[in-house]
Amino acid sequence: MIRYARPSDHPAIAAVVTAAFGRPDEAALATRLRADEDTLFEMVAEEDGEVVGHVLFSRLWVDRFELYGALAPLAVRPDRQGQGLGGKLVRAGLEGAREFGCHGVLVLGDPAYYDRFGFSAEAARDVNAPYRGLAAFQALALEEDAFQGPMMAAYPDAFG
Ligand SMILES: CC(C)(COP(=O)(O)OP(=O)(O)OC[C@H]1O[C@@H](n2cnc3c(N)ncnc32)[C@H](O)[C@@H]1OP(=O)(O)O)[C@@H](O)C(=O)NCCC(=O)NCCS
């Protein structure tokens, strides 16, 4: 089951994210984003009442009067990886981002993974952000012209 996360999920989310990345940095990122109120929403994958996957979308500041989102982190507990949960979380998250009114979403991740959801480095080429030019820096437009023309995108401080 994929559902929106509740505050009572936070400890379980931290455990899943830490186990997936093998270090505490990404769980700390999620904690800081919440503390700074930069989180748009979080979703979890739940199996038998247990959180086994998580995705977080935070807000981006762009030089347009529109809402954009950043997808990070995405994590599935190691013993549940390779069973489609990551894909379900990303797809549900993108639906959520649409519902929240996001015009587009940026991600920093392996193109071999994010390509399947429609993300591309090509779409992010005009986005002026700290990660510009990296193959891992990818965009997905949820509105047709979301990434057309040069634009600035500032990440929440937690990414600093
Ligand atoms: C990335 C991650 C969330 C994917 O979750 P998952 O539930 O295993 O993903 P799915 O089952 O939906 O998809 C599995 C596919 O993704 C591929 N994949 C998984 N991790 C990948 C990665 N880092 N780079 C490229 N491909 C990857 C698998 O090879 C598999 O490919 P296939 O469908 O062609 O066989 C999970 O592996 C994870 O938590 N990894 C550690 C944390 C991490 O790297 N998060 C992403 C940061 S951007």
pLDDT of residue 122: 96
Q: Which atom from ligand 1 is nearest to the alpha carbon of 108? A: 48
Dihedral sign (CA 26, 30, 35, 38): positive
Say yes or no: CB of residue 110 within 6 Å of ligand 1: yes
Burial per residue of 46-62, b for 16 or more beta-carbon CB atoms within 10 angstroms, e otherwise: beeeebbbbbbbbbbeb
Domains of the chain and CATH, by start: 2-155 (3.40.630.30)
Say yes or no: CB of residue 82 within 6 Å of ligand 1: yes
User: For residue 66, how far is its CA from the centre of ligand 1 (angstroms)?
Assistant: 30
Q: Is 37 exposed, middle or buried (0-12, 13-18, 19+ CB in 10 A)?
A: exposed
Say yes or no: CB of residue 76 within 6 Å of ligand 1: yes
pLDDT of residue 69: 98
pLDDT over 90 at 64, yes or no: no
pLDDT of residue 60: 96
pLDDT of residue 65: 83
User: For residue 113, how far is its CA from the centre of ligand 1 (angstroms)?
Assistant: 6
User: Rounded to two decimals, what is the model's pTM?
Assistant: 0.96
User: For residue 112, how far is its CA from the centre of ligand 1 (angstroms)?
Assistant: 9
pLDDT of residue 125: 96
Say yes or no: CB of residue 21 within 6 Å of ligand 1: yes
pLDDT tens profile 36-50: 999 999 999 999 999
Task: Report the pLDDT averaged over residues 64-86.
Answer: 96
Say yes or no: CB of residue 45 within 6 Å of ligand 1: no
